[in-house]
Structure 1
Amino acid sequence: MAVLVVIPARYASSRFPGKPLARLRGASGTTKSLIERSWNAARAVEGIERVVVATDDDRIREAAQEFGAEVVMTSRDCANGTERCAEAHATLGGDFDFVVNLQGDAPLTPSWFVEDLIAGLRNAPEAEIATPVLRCDGHMLGALLADRRAGRVGGTTAVFGADRQALYFSKEVIPYTAAAPQSDAEQTAVFHHVGVYAYRAAALAAYPRWPTGRLELLEGLEQLRFLEQGRKVLCVEVESRGRQFWELNNPEDIPRIEAMLADMKMK
């Protein structure tokens, strides 16, 4: 089955304008843009046929082409990354079996997260979309709770049933927990949703035709449109293998991610 990875990137973010071009310092002191680091993360994934950056902005196009990325220009009317992935896939001919949405704000995404995600979707024919979830340890849960207390929109959390089908996603910390564990290493009942998606081609093509859902609007989470349409979203639990993970949601996340890059000796 042929797999396409699309990195959707837009300049006009309300919380962080120009985010894809933000510079992140690595362990060697070299700075690279967020979009380049996300591109490198995508290229490290095994078993994929093609990687493209999908954008509506010439500044991002020029920066991506400068470091060697293939770019697909998409409409400014795309409401979110999933719609942008759908348009990019259609522009390329719509011939891929699976399309992976590796969002451009997740440069620390390990390659095995995406590889496990693709394998999970292949092995679950009833699912139309799959997304990874990472069980929070005390340290990660503490960071999520600290963001919420400070009024920042941090990571997204997920709850799912025994069959691993998603029940809900939220920018609040769910299920409810009063505080992080005393031990940073302690495993918790909270799962951090990793902002990567693998779609079957037919489900991705249908997505832009569905109306924007009320919950999608309230949470600002594009994957909720699938749930509001009664579609099955498979949650694939992935393992950190000692790797730190965080997404760049706000300017305040840059020092946190740079520290992680330094700890992991990523240039």
Structure 2
Amino acid sequence: MSAEFGQRSSGAKRPLVIAHRGASGIVPENTLLAFHLAVEMGADMIELDVRCSRDGHLVVLHDPDVARTTDGFGQVHELDLEDLLRLDAGYRFSPDGQQFLYRGLGLRIPTLDEVLANLPSHIGINLEIKSSADGDARAADGRRIAASLAARCRREPALVERLLVSSFDIVVLGELRQMRPELRTALCVMPFDPLLRQLDRVCEAGLSALHPADAALGADAAHLIERAHRLGMAVNVWTVNSADRIAELAALGVDGIITDDPERAVQVLERARRAAAAR
């Protein structure tokens, strides 16, 4: 399989640089500004989070509540798109906890439509399906987003080639695969999850990739990556910001580095590539 947009990479290719919520270590996360900056920094893919508003619009926001990143309050699934678009998506961002340089600059919560319209077509998109906190609402949200993505891919077949859909909910991913089996899908895994068991689940479900937290990788990381590759699956690790750790994971053969600092990741991987070529 090729390394394009989240698939299993060949040994000759460096890991993909996947910008976590855009260049979120430098500017407000999940904004068009963060996505454009990540592209300028050389990211191969943009990772973003999608939720559903009360009136059925897909918006790009990580948390179920708007309070951490905006000047508003309330659950995304209890707010209409009009309410969400009034919020200042740069309000809470501060590089040092003292200065809030992005307040009042017009940064908004983007819709998925806006992101797709604004990102260059050569940039891959790792779209993570988010849903409500728990219970029936959670399942309904996930299915709603999956159905909307499937419908969009029917209308825009070219989107399939640049899309990698991830989630912590393997049921939602399975339902999406039933609707659009050609879509690449990835299971996100928390630090406390046993990775080999999760790898078996990914394989049984026919998914394309495993997205483990970096903290979940232990002494058997090389074995896990090798096993995933034998099964034809990619391993994309989140969230990795240390230059040393980026280099270590690249040496282990991971397929993607999900990072808040895409510029640093690109620089580290390029140095490693040049060093390997010189040997």
Q: Same fold (TM over 0.5)?
A: no
The structure carrying a bigger helix percent of its residues is: 2
Higher radius of gyration, 1 or 2: 2
More strand by share: 1
Relative contact order (C-alpha < 8 Å, sep 6+): which is higher?
Answer: 1
